[in-house]
Amino acid sequence: MKINELVRENIRNMQPYSCARSEFKGEASVYLDANENPYNSPFNRYPDPLQTELKKEISKIKKVPVENIFLGNGSDEAIDLLYRAFCEPKIHNVVAIEPSYGMYRVCAEINNVEYRPVLLDENFDVEAYKLMDASNDKTKIIWLCSPNNPTGNSLNFSEINKLLSWFRGIVVIDEAYIDFSTKKSLLNYLTLFPQLIVLQTMSKAWGNAGIRLGMAFADPEIIGILNKIKYPYNINYLTQQHALQALQNPMQVEKWVALILEEKEKLIKELQKLKLVEKIYPSDANFILVKVENANAIYRFLIQNGIVVRNRSNMPLCNNCIRITVGTPEENKALIDTLKKFHV
């Protein structure tokens, strides 16, 4: 498979902006190349456009070589860049599981690319042949998300495997919630499938949604294309510094994950006791999708009591479903106590 042949022609042929910081990469004592203010160190300097130090640390933790890593202003940046790299507006299309993360569709619409949703089955699982049936020779990307948002389950591994061997375009698997799951990440498959892109993020288990740092892991050729079209300084200095600090303490993340998973089990037990709960879907993530009697009424009632959950009622297959993020023990108790007071 030739990745370069999948790339849009204008992107393949363009020259990227060459910033001062990427033209000169060595160490010097006097920097007069970028029109920066010489005062106010360290904030006066443009940040490393390729985040070399940060990628080295991520590489150690994820056991993926640096040349297979792209960093974005959240995974959301990577999602948008993938459209811009591979999809010709009004000509190409993408296929995605449904229901799933809303940004795949939003970015398709922004980029004027046809979005082809394929409904999951009643267990929210995927069937590779259905995705293949929805695709044609104009399909550039297939979007998967596992554990999936908003459903919480992991997708069937053998179906993903089938898709990777059948489909001749890009396959993205969004693993934003992988740190909460006992299932295997697809990071180990990068060398096997050059068209595979794995998305992860600092926003969930790593507790750093505020710094905006997303990761895309892929073949070096794909990484090169993303680097070519991104804003030169897409990851700001403060984010790079803070992420470096956070990466020094992966044990903290393990502790948070253990605590959240324990709380999730407690929350599920408490929810099961409530009459208004009709079904709790299996979750490999830090949230639970719950089918209730009347999602709109319950959502409004919780809001009136200062508690915000996500009403997913209008999503396909999610009729009367709310999505609840696992919070602290106190927050979860507040939720349960409030739900106990709900009467129709």
Ligand X SMILES: *Cc1c(COP(=O)(O)O)cnc(C)c1O
Closest separation in Å from C-beta 200 to ligand X:
8
Closest separation in Å from C-beta 211 to ligand X:
10
Closest separation in Å from C-beta 156 to ligand X:
18
**Closest CB to ligand X among residues 145, 292:** 145
Distance (Å) of CA 142 to CA 12, 36, 132, 167: 21, 42, 9, 9
On whether the CB atoms of residues 71 and 81 are closer than 8 A, the answer is no
Span from 9-17, 72-80, 220-228, 305-313 in contact with ligand X (CB under 6 A): 72-80
CA-CA-CA-CA dihedral for 24, 30, 34, 39, to nearest 10: 140
Closest separation in Å from C-beta 145 to ligand X:
5
**Closest CB to ligand X among residues 104, 167:** 104
Task: Decide: is 76 part of the binding site for ligand X (CB under 6 A).
Answer: yes
Spatial separation of the C-alpha atoms in residues 193 and 196, rounded to whole Å: 6
- Nearest residue to ligand X by CB is 74
Span from 17-25, 38-46, 74-82, 130-138 in contact with ligand X (CB under 6 A): 74-82
Closest separation in Å from C-beta 335 to ligand X:
20
| Contact code string over 125-164 relative to ligand X, x by CB under 6 A | --------------------x---x---------------
Closest separation in Å from C-beta 129 to ligand X:
24
Task: Decide: is 74 part of the binding site for ligand X (CB under 6 A).
Answer: yes
Span from 41-49, 134-142, 155-163, 203-211 in contact with ligand X (CB under 6 A): 203-211
Count of residues in contact with ligand X, rule CB under 6 A: 13
Residues 265-324 that bind ligand X (CB under 6 A): none
Residues 254-273 that bind ligand X (CB under 6 A): none
Closest separation in Å from C-beta 132 to ligand X:
23
Task: Decide: is 101 part of the binding site for ligand X (CB under 6 A).
Answer: yes
On whether the CB atoms of residues 203 and 176 are closer than 8 A, the answer is yes
Closest separation in Å from C-beta 39 to ligand X:
33
Task: Decide: is 120 part of the binding site for ligand X (CB under 6 A).
Answer: no
On whether the CB atoms of residues 59 and 66 are closer than 8 A, the answer is yes
Q: Select from 3, 64, 155, 176 the one that contacts ligand X (CB under 6 A).
A: 176
Task: Decide: is 174 part of the binding site for ligand X (CB under 6 A).
Answer: yes
Nearest C-alpha neighbor of 86 from the set 174, 4, 17, 190: 4
Residues engaged in binding ligand X (CB under 6 A):
74-76, 101, 145, 149, 174, 176, 201, 203-204, 209, 214
